A and B are shown apart, each in its own frame.
Chain A
Amino acid sequence: MQIVHHNPARFQVGNMASVAVRYPIGHYRVPMYLRGKQVEIIRILGRYINPEEEAFGRNAGSKIWSYLITIPQMKLWPNYMGDENDRLEIEIFEPWLEHLKISNNE
């Protein structure tokens, strides 16, 4: 992974974060089902061009951090029918994540 000193990743593997609740209109890469949920960072994926800006021709060259996160299915869906260990993993861009006080292991 490239090292970028002036723009370090704000989250580390093991951190818990909260997904922002926002309803912007346009090319957004955060599904509705994830908004407002508490998630765990499991991998720092690197920096990528922000598709939410690029889609409108704005700041197409600016890269932002992207993370792989995980959340138990039980916390995502009321009345989830599968096993309690089932999980969902998804990538998410840093501007959508907010720090939580709690760190590590749910």
Chain B
Amino acid sequence: MSNDHTHTHSDHAPILHDEVPCYYEILEISIRELLVEKGLIGPEEIREQIEVLDSRSPALGAKLVARAWVDPEFRKRLLDNGVDAALEMGITSYDDTDFTVLENTDKVHHMIVCTLCSCYPRPILGLPPDWYKSKEYRSRAVREPRAVLAEFGTILPDEIKIVVNDSTANQRYMVLPLRPKGTEHFTEEQLEALVTRDVMIGVKVLHN
């Protein structure tokens, strides 16, 4: 190291990429490079799409939920056609999937899973959490939903019917949770802040 090197380094571990890429990584790189080479898509389009993907987060879903809580007409439109209702709020879809919002009531609780892969309402909630994609969650959520919910700290009485929604092809689901009691005077922004990702996947409920 040279002596005129004056600024201090923090001692974080260096970030290395020394792992051998797996089969699917090599496949993805090959297909991407072929598409670019043949002029079908350009690097700029790939970069732009990554930027779009990264711009989505559960905050968008929370906006839809809060609006549905304060505006009964919007709530109806949201339950009727999620893609159009999201568009009203300026949230565009970037793929060809349907966005279906599932309404929780005091008698029914919805819980979302994709047993076959990792279908998730990415335009609205961003990328799914790792546990959502794990084999454990995917296999157990359909088979023993109440046990899985309990592991998330969510214990529901037997009187509440649990509906597991397995997303396998074109439908992307989001849960519209019950509005907590005592929030009648909250502003829409305050309501948004209550709504978390896990609540919209249906593994958590908001406390009443």
Q: Please list the residues of chain A having a beta carbon within 8 angstroms of any beta carbon in chain B.
A: 29-31, 33, 45-46, 48, 51, 66, 68, 70, 73, 76-77, 80-83, 85-93
Contact = CB atoms under 8 A, between A and B. Distances in A.
A81 B79 CA distance: 31
9 contacts: A29-B116, A31-B116, A33-B115, A33-B143, A76-B142, A80-B144, A81-B144, A86-B145, A88-B165
A42 to B, nearest CB: 11
B98 interface: yes
Given A81-B144, A83-B159, A89-B166, 9 more contacts: A33-B115, A73-B145, A81-B146, A82-B145, A86-B162, A87-B163, A87-B164, A90-B168, A92-B168
Interface of B: 98, 115-116, 142-147, 158-159, 161-171
A76 B168 CA distance: 17
The 5 A-B residue pairs with the shortest CB-CB distance in the complex, in nearest-first order: A90-B166, A85-B161, A83-B158, A82-B146, A86-B162
Contacts of A87: 161-164
Which residue, A30, A66, A73, has most C-beta atoms of chain B within 10 A? A73
Contacts of A81: 144, 146-147
Contacts of A85: 161
Contacts of B162: 73, 82-83, 86-87
Contacts of B168: 29-31, 90-92
Which residue, B163, B168, B171, has most C-beta atoms of chain A within 10 A? B168
B34 to A, nearest CB: 15
A82 B149 CA distance: 11
Contact of B170 (A33, A45, A77, A82): A45
Contacts of A93: 169
